[in-house]
C-alpha cells in the first residue's frame, strides 16, 4: 500500500491554473509536488519515491503531456503511476490520442473541485489496487502454498471481471450504429483487457513453475514445434536434441514458447524479415543444455542478470509491450528442474540463451 501523506504531482506551466489546482488538491489532504515544465515533471516521476498520481498539462515547454505519458509507460516497471491529462481539449480525437499515449484520465479546464476530487479518488484506488497486486505477487514467488491459493483466487476473480469487460468491449465494437471514434475506444478497452489477461495467465504459469512439478516423459521435438507456432514470424531450426525428455511438460513448453516469443519480439534487425532460432544440446552427465540463439541486437551485459527477474525488462525492450514475466517463468522452470538459465552474446551478434535442465534416468521408448 502507498504510505501517507499521499503525494500528487502537479505539472502545469500556467501559474494561475497551478494555484487553483494546488489549493484544490491540498484541500483534499494530499501533498503537492509542483513543476512548470515537462522536464521537471519527468525528473519528479523518476525520483526514488515518486508521486503515484500526476496531473499533467497537455501543452508544456519542452515535453508535452502526451509525450510524458508515453515515456512513463515505456520505462515503468513495478509501481504504477496514475496519469491525468489537464487540458482545454475536449474533442473525441484528443481523448483518443491522450489515452493512446498512456494517460488514464482527463481533467478538462477549468476543473470543478468535485470533479478534481473524483478523478484523484479514482486514481488513488487504482494505485492502491496495483500496489496490493504487486505486493501479493512478490510474496507468492517465495511462498508456494500461499502462491497456489492466491493464484486460484486471482484466476477466478480477475478472469471473471476481465471476461465481462472483454465481452462488453466486443459488443460495442460490433455495433455499427456507433461512430468510428467510439469503436476505436472500444478497441482500446479490448486491448487493455487482453494485456491484463496475459498478466494473469503469466502469474498462474509462474506459480506452477515455481513449485517442484511432476515429471513425465514426452516428445520434445513436438513441444518445440508447438511452441514455435505462437511466434510465426521466426524460423525455428531444430538441430540435435533428445527424442524424449523427462520433465514437467507444460513448464518446459511454456519456457520454449517464451524464449521464442522473446526472439520474435526483440530479435528483429532492420534488413532481415526472419529471426532464426537454433535449438541444440550439449552433452553432460546430469544435465541437458538447450541453446536458443537469435539474430537481434543482443542484451547488454548490464541487463543479463536482471532480465530474469519479475517485472524486469531489458534496455532494448523499452519500446515493446509485454508483461515482464516471460523470462522469469523460464528461470523458475529451470530452478524447478535443478537447472538454470543465462544469456551470452550469440555467434551471429544476437542473444544466446542457455537453458539447462537436470537429466533423470532415461525412459524407455
Q: What is the pLDDT of residues 256-289, one digit of tens each?
A: 988 888 887 776 555 554 556 677 666 677 788 8
Could you tell me the sign of the dihedral formed by the alpha carbons of 25, 27, 33, 34, in that order? positive
Among 80-94, 189-203, 294-308, whose mean pLDDT is lowest?
189-203
Helix then strand count (H, E) for the chain reads 10, 12
DSSP, residue by residue, 73-97? HHH--SS--EEEEEES--SHHHHHH
CA nearest 68: which of 58, 53, 78, 79? 58
Task: Enter the pTM of the model.
Answer: 0.49
Closest C-alpha among 338, 361, 341 to residue 217: 361
Give Cβ neighbours of residue 355 (< 8 Å, ≥ 6 apart): 255, 259, 289, 290, 292, 330, 334, 339, 341
What are the tens digits of pLDDT across the range 22-35? 888 988 888 899 99
Nearest to 278 by CA among 230, 223, 228: 228
Q: What is the arithmetic mean of pLDDT over 178-203?
A: 80
Answer whether the bond into residue 110 is a cis peptide, omega within 30°.
Answer: yes
Q: Are 290 and 241 in contact (CB under 8 A)?
A: yes
The answer to whether the bond into 5 is cis (omega within 30° of 0) is: yes
Please, which residues have CB within 8 angstroms of residue 160's CB and are 6 or more apart in sequence? none
Question: In the predicted model, is pLDDT for residue 364 greater than 50?
Answer: no
Distance CA 83, CA 87 (A): 13
Read off the pLDDT of each residue in 95-112 and give the average, rounded to a whole number. 84
Distance CA 171, CA 1 (A): 35
Q: Which residues contact 81 (CB under 8 A, 6 or more apart)?
A: 45, 50, 51, 52, 53, 54, 72, 127
**% of the chain beyond a pLDDT of 90:** 3
Q: Which of the four pLDDT bands, split at 50, 70 and 90, describes residue 365?
A: very low
The yes-or-no verdict on residue 296 having pLDDT over 60 is yes
Average pLDDT score over the chain: 79
Average pLDDT over residues 287-315: 77
pLDDT tens digit string along 214-228? 788 899 888 888 888
Instruction: Point out the least confidently predicted range of 54-58, 156-160, 192-196.
Output: 156-160
Mean per-residue pLDDT, 182-203: 79
- Going by pLDDT thresholds of 50, 70 and 90, the confidence category of residue 321 is low
Amino acid at each position: 500500500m502507498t504510505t501517507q501523506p499521499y503525494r500528487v504531482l502537479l505539472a502545469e506551466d500556467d501559474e494561475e491554473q497551478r494555484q487553483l489546482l494546488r489549493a484544490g488538491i491540498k484541500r483534499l489532504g494530499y501533498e503537492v509536488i509542483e513543476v512548470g515544465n515537462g522536464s521537471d515533471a519527468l525528473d519528479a516521476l523518476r525520483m526514488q519515491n515518486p508521486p503515484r498520481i500526476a496531473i499533467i498539462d497537455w501543452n508544456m515547454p519542452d515535453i508535452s503531456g502526451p509525450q510524458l505519458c508515453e515515456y512513463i509507460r515505456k520505462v515503468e516497471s513495478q509501481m504504477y503511476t496514475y496519469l491525468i491529462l489537464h487540458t482545454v481539449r475536449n474533442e473525441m480525437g484528443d481523448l483518443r490520442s491522450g489515452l493512446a499515449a498512456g494517460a488514464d484520465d482527463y481533467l478538462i479546464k477549468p476543473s470543478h473541485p468535485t470533479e478534481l476530487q473524483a478523478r484523484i479518488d479514482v486514481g488513488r484506488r487504482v494505485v492502491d489496487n496495483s500496489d496490493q497486486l504487486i505486493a501479493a505477487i512478490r510474496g507468492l514467488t517465495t511462498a508456494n502454498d500461499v502462491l497456489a491459493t492466491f493464484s486460484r483466487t486471482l484466476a477466478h476473480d480477475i478472469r471473471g471481471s476481465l471476461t465481462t469487460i472483454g465481452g462488453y468491449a466486443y459488443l460495442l465494437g460490433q455495433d455499427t450504429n456507433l461512430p468510428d471514434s467510439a469503436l476505436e475506444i472500444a478497441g482500446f478497452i479490448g486491448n487493455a483487457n487482453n494485456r491484463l489477461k496475459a498478466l494473469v495467465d503469466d502469474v498462474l504459469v509462474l506459480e506452477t513453475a515455481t513449485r517442484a512439478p511432476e515429471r513425465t516423459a514426452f516428445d520434445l521435438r513436438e513441444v518445440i514445434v508447438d511452441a514455435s507456432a505462437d511466434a510465426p514470424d521466426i524460423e525455428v531450426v531444430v538441430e540435435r536434441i533428445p527424442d524424449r525428455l523427462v520433465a514437467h511438460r507444460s513448464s518446459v513448453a511454456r519456457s520454449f514458447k517464451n524464449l521464442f516469443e522473446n526472439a520474435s519480439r526483440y530479435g528483429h534487425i532492420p534488413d532481415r524479415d526472419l529471426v532464426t532460432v537454433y535449438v541444440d544440446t550439449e552433452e553432460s552427465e546430469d544435465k541437458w543444455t538447450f541453446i536458443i540463439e537469435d539474430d537481434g541486437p543482443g542484451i547488454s551485459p548490464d541487463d543479463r542478470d536482471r532480465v530474469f527477474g519479475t517485472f524486469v525488462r531489458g534496455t532494448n525492450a523499452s519500446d515493446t509491450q509485454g508483461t515482464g514475466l516471460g523470462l522469469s517463468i523460464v528461470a523458475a522452470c529451470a530452478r524447478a528442474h535443478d537447472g538454470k538459465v543465462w544469456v551470452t552474446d550469440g555467434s551471429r551478434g544476437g542473444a544466446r540463451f542457455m537453458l539447462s535442465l537436470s537429466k533423470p534416468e532415461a525412459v524407455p521408448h
